[in-house]
Structure 1
């Protein structure tokens, strides 16, 4: 992730929720950078809470609370921009682009794939097995173009 994007998300989250403001812990350090890095690592890499503790120096309970607060903040900040139904102008624009690409009347497409989850927690591995007995998750993507 580019540093500018990380800083932009960090500033938006800190301004939205006081949970992410800079606080001094018992050891004398805990920055919003640690909390954001922890949340990104857990979401992007599927890393365990133990590795979050080792890398970001956050306890398990703090990492779970941090992830929940982060997800709520992201939805509140970016939800109206990116999670909305298209209006009439958006639909017209999407239909024109689809028509130029040879897909008339297509507004969006849905694609799914099974993704190997190499860092799946051992406790969850049984719930996420595929037909090869490997832990996977299903990624769904909806794209307009």
Structure 2
């Protein structure tokens, strides 16, 4: 298979996956979704106000341009990396994913670049009664 045919096949496959799952899985939670998530955590785990599990991971960037390596390299890992932030609910619905923050960030300060944080601060985020707790 040629590289062009492989790219076109992948593009068509992904377009179909997006079309198939967009209305259910490729969207932010609605108010009623948030309330269901909150009720589940309060009832089953005794964690009122919890909306999901937020986690960040570093993804090594082997072909990072030389000019960007300083911003994308942390002293801890010593290699260029990007951060991936994802939030999943109990049913493994990944309803927030944010990729591309320089790897020199850590799990605490990456939230300040996240669309989730910015949407909440600007009043356009998911509606619901919840709170953030670090630790």
Q: State the TM-score bracket (shorter-chain normalisation).
A: 0.3 to 0.5
Q: Which structure's residues are more often helix, by fraction? A: 1
Q: Considering only CA atoms, is the larger Rg found in Structure 1 or Structure 2?
A: 1
TM-score by length of 2: 0.46
- Using CA pairs under 8 Å that are at least 6 residues apart, name the structure with larger relative contact order, 1 or 2: 2
